[in-house]
Amino acid sequence: MAGKTRHRSKKTTAVSRRTKKTSAAHRRRVSRTSRAAPRRRAPVAKPSVRRKPDEGVSSGMTSKKTTQRQGFRTNEFIVYPSHGVGQILAIEEQEVAGAKLELFVINFVKDKMTLRVPTAKVTAVGMRKLAEPPLVKRALETLKGRARIKRTMWSRRAQEYEAKINSGDIVAIAEVVRDLYRSETQPEQSYSERQLYEAALDRLSREISVVQRITETEAIKEIEAALAKGPRRGPKPAEGEDDEAVVEEEAA
């Protein structure tokens, strides 16, 4: 009996030893696996960076504190020939091909448009200051004169009218308004005549309104009042007075 007990004790000891060896080997394999597998780092939240207003919107464009260039100041109303009256909002500096370029930022409210013009080219593009009151008075006096119509094809006259409108010359624009105006007693304008007349009237009324500090509606009334005083636009021409427009022969 004692021999059987010793035999079982030896078997139990042997099994215990094998179990310990197996457990130790398993721990070594797990340890190797854990060392071999790279640890995943927890994602780190990036700090939020607040961007300043308009930062990065216009590359290479910076707003300057300069308030005057070429005799023009910021917030000043000017006349750009092909667009009429606009307002200088700022003077910006832009770098192009390594060279710095100064620009007038001009806003045209009625056209809902912003234009950038190099400060060095204002003379070349014909940008000018608003007309002085004496020149505005001269333009209004021009409206009272006799219409002058060239005896030539309409397409040719239309080009000349358009050139005057886009010249930026307030007197030349007044001439277009005068020549294309039709009173209630005169034949109606054609569609193309009406288009040019309204374009000239818009340019003229906008400048007069800014110079005289009145509304555009008031400026249009002033223009129409001057037109009504023309020789062929009154209620009835005086006896012996020619109420026809002056027709000019085209120069050869």
Query: Model confidence over 193-244: pLDDT tens digits?
Result: 999 999 999 999 999 999 999 999 999 999 999 999 988 654 444 444 444 5
The pLDDT value recorded for residue 233 is 55
**Cα 228 to Cα 235: distance, rounded to the nearest angstrom:** 9
Contact 119, 69 (CB under 8 A): yes
Mean pLDDT across the stretch 172-181?
A: 97
Domains of the chain: 61-129 (2.40.10.170), 133-235+243-249 (1.20.58.1290)
Give the global pTM. 0.69
In which band, very low, low, confident or very high, does the pLDDT at 40 lie, cut at 50, 70 and 90?
Answer: low
β-strand pairing of 128-129 with 77-80:
antiparallel
Helices 170-180 & 133-143 angle (0-180, nearest 10):
20
